[in-house]
Chain A
Amino acid sequence: MEQDITIKIIDRDGVSHEVLAPTDMAMNLMEVVRSYELAPEGTIGVCGGMAMCASCQCYVLSDHQLPEMQDDEEAMLSEAFYVKDNSRLGCQIQMTLDMNGLEVELAPEN
């Protein structure tokens, strides 16, 4: 479908997946990962997408212009583990046309 975009996701086992994500269903990256079951249920999106856990932490590998980090995401990442400079919470990255070609790697669990 024309409003779909392609996202490349490297799962926690290092396997790369190219997936199609709709841009008209208000989905975020964490939900895309769940919809394709790229991480076991219960290990990602634990808080449901409120930026209140860090189970959807990922490393952004491509140089896309991402939405600016809000206070709650920044605060959560400051308490998370395995954080790198390119860490983001997947639940805070909305699937929009601008995100076409985005490449991310899921951070280790917990």
Chain B
Amino acid sequence: MTNSIAEFETDSKVIFVIGSNTTACHPLIANRIIKAKENGARLIVADPRNIQLTKFADLAVHQRLGTDVALLNGMMHVIIRNDWHAAEYVEKRCEEFEALKKTVASYDPERVEAITGIAARDIEQMAELYATNAPGALLYAMGITQHTTGVDNVKSCCNLAMLCGNLGVPGGGVNPLRGQNNVQGACDMGGLPNVFTGYQPVADPEVREKFASAWNCGELSDTPGMTITDMISAIDEGKIKGLYVIGENPKLSDPDKNHLDHVLKKLDFLVVEDIFLTESAQVADVVFASAALGERQGTFTNTERRCMLTQKAVEPVGNALPDWQIISRFATALGHGMSYDSPEEVFNEMASLTKSYQGMTYDRIGIDGLQWPCLAKDHPGTPYLHKETFTRGKGMFHAIEFKEPAEAACAEYPMMMTTGRMFAHFHTGTMTRVSNSLDTEQKTGYVDINPADAEKLNIASGDMVLLTSRRGEIEAPAQITDSVPPNNVFLPIHFGENPTNTLTSSTAFDPIAKIPEFKVGAVKIEKLIA
């Protein structure tokens, strides 16, 4: 997030939520949005489904799956046509405005209505609400990113925010809501194929030299590595033979399960480190048993870049060990000695190599945490980014044309499918389905079907249906609800016995971010006769 969660309540005059089911997936951020509404802020919600947050919105629209670029271009078209954009800000702080203007010129509301299914007058009103109530915060989640046009979608969000002068001000910003407690931290720590900590490129010889000397490990590889999406193909092609998976369950979280199951069998050696014997751990050659939250000390960085310290409350269960100890021992056995007395010692080594964290210490972080960049021991942290200038200097507009998603409804697969989370469960369900209080809320997978489709297919709530895509088929009980529009279905991703990732495609992904298009697919639905 460029900005902070608290600012939505205290500073934002308009909040635009697109591709985030916030009340279900980030409830305490939704709480701030609702409070902002009570304080007089305006709320716009754009989501293909009729999510709970729409009840609180001044204006709620339902775009056809995968048409976000067209919608955002349409809003910018209306804003520029009416001179609602922040002309002085654009002139002073941005570049390539003319290219953007030229591209969005052809996205008049009538054309955008034809693409997105949103009425032209609603597009006009969305644009007016967002542009004429400053500052405005834009919030998004996986509904924006999990597309073949994920990068285009994010850039379009940034275009809109810059156009209205909403970056570098409290209560504004482009705010991706991270889905896992330490997605931000895992990225910050260099858990990516092309960068060390703090996004320092592996291709930069000076950076490599700095890490090689700090780690005392000889030369480091200068070739950016593979993303998870590329690794799966590389395993299939026999290029990757060994895989070390920490705290992750790819057998349920990665697309095209049948293909993935087949590919994982080709691995020579699989090591999985987890707190449960997940679907992925079951096929491992060695499983390392980890300590959980509360069983060891360490820091996590939340979606607003706030690094927070968690303390050890109890001893690890059985012989489980904290991951920092397992990794150190494994690295030592692999031939690179690692010896640390505490997580704090690891943190201090990391902070000494990472500019955005270099002002942080365990003492300073405390219970409330510190938001990076935190550049010195007396730096208070940074609630919002890009105050005076952007990281690259001027903010660059990207003129982006709308592209259709990879799959469209066809005679064989006539329904459109989208996937996501529901309120009581989390990701692949490994943590929530063993929790009695959460299991009680939802015990099995399901598929949301619109009443009109249910009538056509003669399906009642609770009937088992067979869902088939180009990849495979699964069974799930039907849930009849108008939270999905006609001809659309929604499937939650949490349930191993109804594995939604059997249906999703591993070949439809964003060419740059390599993120799979989990949000759009074509399926066929048939009622199963009991």
**Do A and B interact?**
no
Binding site for A on B (CB under 8 A): none
